Structure 1
Amino acid sequence: MTSRRGRTAWLKDIFRKRVRPAEADPLLLTDAVDTRYFYNAISRHEARFQIGQVVRHKLFPFRGVIFDVDPQFANTDEWYDSIPEEVRPRKDQPFYHLFAENDRTHYIAYVSEQNLIPDDSDVPLSHPDISDWFTMNGSGTYELKKEATN
C-alpha cells in the first residue's frame, strides 16, 4: 500500500506553479484585431441618446423618456424573433428602455437606436413611473433622481 504522502504527491505536482509569473513570457498580440467581433461582449457603439431624453419611435406612434441604455441588444431571443423580419432591428447597436406612452396607454418599451428620433415637442409626458425616477428641471428636460441611480 502507498503512503499518504505518495497518494497526494501527484496532486501537488499538478497544482504546483511550474513557472513564476516574472519568468513567464509576456502575452503578445500576434493577430490583427477583428473589428467585427465584440471582445468580452463590449459594444464599441456610442449611444446617440441619453438617460432623461424624450424620444419618439420612427415607425410607431409612441414617445417616451429614456431610463436605461444597453450598449447592444440584451433582451431574449424570443422577444427579438417576435419582431417581423421586415422591421427587425440589428442587434449590434444601443437599445433603450423607455417609459413610453401613446394615445391609449402607458408601458415600458425596449427600442433600438435606429428606430428612435429626438422628440422636440413641448407636450409633457404623463407616464406614472416618471416621477419615481426623474424630476423635471427648469428647461423642460428630465433629470434622473440620485436615488434612482445604481
Structure 2
Amino acid sequence: MNVVKTAKFRIGQVVRHRLFPFRGVIFDVDPEFANTEEWYEAIPAQVRPRKDQPFYHLLAENSETEYIAYVSEQNLQEDETGEPIRHPQINEMFDAGPDGHYEPKARHHH
C-alpha cells in the first residue's frame, strides 16, 4: 500500500536551514529524495537526512553568495524575517506577494 506524503512547505515559501546559516525560496519539491547517491553520501553521516521525506529545491542565499540548494524537509523551518530574497533568478520565477511570500509567475502554454 502506498502512503501519500504531504509536503509541509509550499512553492514560493521562504524557509531557512535548521542547522546552517542560509535561507531561500522554494521553487520545486520532490516527494522523496531524488538526487544522486554520490550527493547523498557526501553529507556527513551524523547530519544525513532520511530519504523518505520531501526534499526541496531552493533559490538559496547566505551572507556571501546565492546558489541552488537541495534540502530535506526535516532541515527546514519557516523564515519569519520578512526580508526579501536577493537571488538573481528570483524575478524569473516569482512575483513578490504582499505577505512576504513569492507567487510563481504564470506560465503560458502553446
Normalising by structure 2, what TM-score?
A: 0.94
Structure-1 residue corresponding to 2:23: 63
Q: Cα 1:148–1:75, aligned 2, differ >3 Å: closer, same or farther?
A: farther
Q: Which amino acid aligns with 2:22?
A: F
The corresponding residue for 1:11 is: none
Shift in CA distance, 61/72, structure 1 to aligned 2, threshold 3 Å:
same
Residue 97 (structure 1) aligned to one of 15, 40, 57? 57
**What secondary structure does 1:146 align onto?**
coil
Deviations 1:3-22 (A, max 9, x none): xxxxxxxxxxxxxxxxxxxx
> Which of structures 1 and 2 has the bigger CA Rg?
1
Where relative contact order (Cα < 8 A, 6+ residues apart) is larger, the structure is: 2
Instruction: Report if aligned partners of 1:73, 1:95 keep a CA contact under 8 Å in 2.
Output: yes
Please, which runs of 5 or more residues in structure 2 have no aligned partner?
A: none
Which one has a larger percent strand, Structure 1 or Structure 2?
Answer: 2
- Aligned partner letter, 1:99: L
More helix by share: 1
Find 1:111's aligned residue among 68, 71, 79. 71
* Aligned residues of 1:133 and 1:148 also touching (Cα < 8 A): no
The alignment partner of 2:33 has SS state of: coil
Q: CA deviation at 1:146?
A: 1.2
Equivalent residues, number: 109
Q: Distance in 2 between matches of 1:60 and 1:71?
A: 23
Root-mean-square deviation (Å) = 1.6
**Offset at 1:148?**
8.2
Q: Unaligned stretches of 5+ in structure 1?
A: 1-32, 34-38
Q: Distance in 2 between matches of 1:147 and 1:55?
A: 24
2:39 is the alignment partner of 1:76: no
Contact kept in structure 2, 1:54 and 1:118, CA below 8 Å: yes
Give secondary structure in 1 for the equivalent of 2:39: helix
Picking from 94, 104, 121, the partner of 2:81 is 121
User: How far apart in 2 are the matches of 1:148 and 1:106?
Assistant: 28
Residue in structure 1 matched with residue 90 of structure 2 by the alignment = 130
Q: Percent identity?
A: 61
